[in-house]
Structure 1
Amino acid sequence: MHSIGELARASGLTVSALRFYDSAGVLVPARVDPVTGYRWYTDDQVRPARLVAGLRRVGMPVPEIAAAVRSGPAAAHRLLDTHLRRLEDGLADARRELSRIRTLIDPEEQPMTTHLTLSRTDLAAAVDAVRFAVATGPDLPELTGVLFDVDAGGVQLVATDRYRMALARIGADVDGPAVRALVPAGFVDETRTLLDTAGEVRLAVGDGTVAVTVAGRTLDAGTLPYDFPDHRRLLRAAPGGPAHRATVDVAALRAALTSPDAPVVHREHGGAALPVSVLGPDGRGGVRLYGEDELTGDAPRIGVNAGYLLQALDAGGRGQLVLELDGPIAPLAVRRPDDTDAFSILMPIRL
């Protein structure tokens, strides 16, 4: 048996950290002296303690550390991959913010306009993938445009109306600092009409302005003066991945959703009965619609607005798409099987 001090020296954890992980149920001593309360650990607990110490050093949240200690190798590796993506996203966010701050510190030394050269067809596909999710009402003006989030490798387009969110990323030749611009929906629509012509696209994003040139024709506009919400928070995957991932035939799912006989449940919202389409596993690796009498049990199910889902299927632009379900309170993800950078998520309706 090892005393708590011996395990601390062997693992790299402090004594106070071992006490904390005991209280959190992550690393419980093999024996606790009933009189002194002193903790004792076995040889088999040295390796898990070292694992905890390493995960603690890289900032993994305690619930995920606990899951990694209890899991087999495959599940533990998935947890590591998820946390690594989280760290990489955080570093990318920090780089973008520091680049923006540099322009505020010394605007004369930093170029204030970022120029991009990109594929016309790629930009058209990206606009088509996200445009449906732009908000239309006046109550949330910060959502009435498309976010152009530019970094050294390209640009990500993001749109949301709070009930769904769509994203698409395309590569580009970029000259200038990272920049974020909230582009008015009307300007995005005008730009889309130009993208059916020939030629490459030149995009310029400056301090409060955006301009696009296609085939010798230039459009320009002011960007929206609002802060777009932190969309990356929703994109950080839960540990272990979705509970159910299914490749679906878009035409078949569309037919099922629009059929007069489609199962629908009703939930009250704003004093009215709201029709809800409930998706869940079909037992054959796909998904199907569930009725009111099928909402018990452990299978992952999610309620969504059928109209929103139909729009997401259309924006997917493929005959087959991948749906990811992770239970009744997690968003539904709609992905292209051949393009991980273009997808949408739908907020669930409480069942």
Structure 2
Amino acid sequence: MRSIGEMARDSGLGVSALRFYDRAGVLVPAWVDPVSGYRWYAPEQLDEARLLARLRRAGMPLADIRLILAGWSGADTDLVRGLLQAHLRRLERGLADARTEFSALRSLLDQRENPMTATPRTAAARLSVPAPDLAAALDAVRYAVSSDPGLPMLGGVLFDVEGDTLRLVATDRYRLAVAGIGTDGHGGPRVQVTVPAALADAMRALLDGDGPVGLAVEGDRVTLEAGDRQAAGQCLAHDFPDYRRLVHLPSGRRALVEAAAFRRELESGPVRPGAGRERGDASAEVSVLEVADDGTVSVCEDGDGDGSVVAVDRGFLLEAIAAAGRDRVVLEFGAPTAPVAIRRTDDETTFALLMPVRLDD
């Protein structure tokens, strides 16, 4: 007999998913302990669980999965083949419909951009920034820059100059990092440029002093001057998304955690494997965080306790805590589908957001 934890590990289905499929009557344990309620599975159920995991990854409706599991071991496989073929046709129709909608959206974008009348960038700004502050801001956001070649507009760090504040922003869709610092010398309108990741790294290498450095934006070119050293290059030719629309989160619970202790708990605690497949990373590991009523946060197996739970990419959370660079950080939990915020205790302008991971598949 396999325990529910062993079944989850060997099948690719999470513990909470196995409980859900039990309640739905799709994959019922061979035996349930009448005292503890703990579920146990027979050896032959592992193949059914793996089949169920494959069908769910293919997006098959639960009603069809129930019929396939019922007919899988029978001599007549016509029903199973028919259901698989019907689902494949649904997926193909859905893909055709999606292509039609995306074609219409591209046409709308082409009309908006209208390259025949596009004008070159004319933004200009000159400002002075403390080198340690700019170095810390780059360190706080660099890890969140996208490496997806299909999304070149996210392949750099946004430099957003407004008034006497410079905000640095990076996102790869699954996480977003923002850092704000004070500046001197810019009194003009708001200026935004996206600095390619390689140029941002070159800038960071110059920020080893304590004094101010100069930052200049002229059209599509950005320059950092640190004494007699300089890093300069072209900005990305793509507009960065309006990050301000992404950072307004519903109010929720705030938990103050000791960074080092919480990192150790994450690194040694239970994980859910393979939950990063929606971003093409089947090896990603997910941690389930449980938030108790008293505000404490723990890393749990499946979140079946009394508190509310949220699942996040463990590697992303570890990077965000390290980038915060503080002994203590604040974790902010809103709605179950809202991003988790990682904030500094002494600086509300620098924070990170992590998209939650679904637990029900």
4+ residue segments displaced more than 4 Å = 270-274
- Is the counterpart of residue 197 in structure 1 residue 209 in structure 2? yes
Distance 2:285 2:218 in 1: 44
Deviation for aligned residue 1:303: 0.6
- Residue 136 (structure 2) aligns with: 125
- Residue 279 (structure 1) aligns with: 289
Q: Is the 8 A contact 1:300 1:326 kept in 2?
A: no
Q: Is the 8 A contact 1:301 1:327 kept in 2?
A: no
- Residue 11 (structure 1) aligns with: none
Counterpart residue identity of residue 129, structure 1: A
Q: Is the 8 A contact 1:135 1:144 kept in 2?
A: yes
1:296-323 CA-partner distances (Å, limit 9, x unpaired): 76x3321101000000010000010000
Q: 1:251 aligns with which of 260, 268, 288?
A: 260
- Residue 24 (structure 2) aligns with: none
- Is the counterpart of residue 328 in structure 1 residue 336 in structure 2? yes
Instruction: Name the SS for the 1:248 alignment partner.
Output: strand
Q: Share of identical aligned residues, percent?
A: 44
Q: 1:114 aligns with which of 125, 129, 132?
A: 125
Q: Is the 8 A contact 1:197 1:215 kept in 2?
A: no
Deviation for aligned residue 1:204: 0.5
1:55-100 CA-partner distances (Å, limit 9, x unpaired): xxxxxxxxxxxxxxxxxxxxxxxxxxxxxxxxxxxxxxxxxxxxxx
- Residue 264 (structure 1) aligns with: 271
1:249-270 CA-partner distances (Å, limit 9, x unpaired): 01111101111xx122346535
Counterpart residue identity of residue 328, structure 2: Q
Structure 2 unpaired stretches of 5+: 1-116
Deviation for aligned residue 1:274: 5.4
TM-score, normalisation: structure 2: 0.62
Counterpart residue identity of residue 335, structure 1: R
Q: How many residues align?
A: 238
Q: Is the 8 A contact 2:144 2:170 kept in 1?
A: yes
Specify whether residues 112 and 343 from structure 1 end up closer, same or farther in structure 2 by C-alpha distance, changes over 3 A only: closer
Root-mean-square deviation (Å): 2.4
TM-score, normalisation: structure 1: 0.63
Deviation for aligned residue 1:227: 1.4
Q: 1:163 aligns with which of 155, 174, 184?
A: 174
Deviation for aligned residue 1:290: 1.9
Structure 1 unpaired stretches of 5+: 1-103
Distance 2:358 2:145 in 1: 23
Specify whether residues 256 and 181 from structure 1 end up closer, same or farther in structure 2 by C-alpha distance, changes over 3 A only: same
Distance 2:183 2:143 in 1: 23
Q: Is the 8 A contact 2:274 2:284 kept in 1?
A: yes
Instruction: Name the SS for the 1:201 alignment partner.
Output: strand
- Residue 319 (structure 2) aligns with: 311
Q: Is the 8 A contact 1:201 1:214 kept in 2?
A: yes
- Residue 358 (structure 2) aligns with: 350
Instruction: Name the SS for the 2:240 alignment partner.
Output: coil
Distance 1:295 1:143 in 2: 37
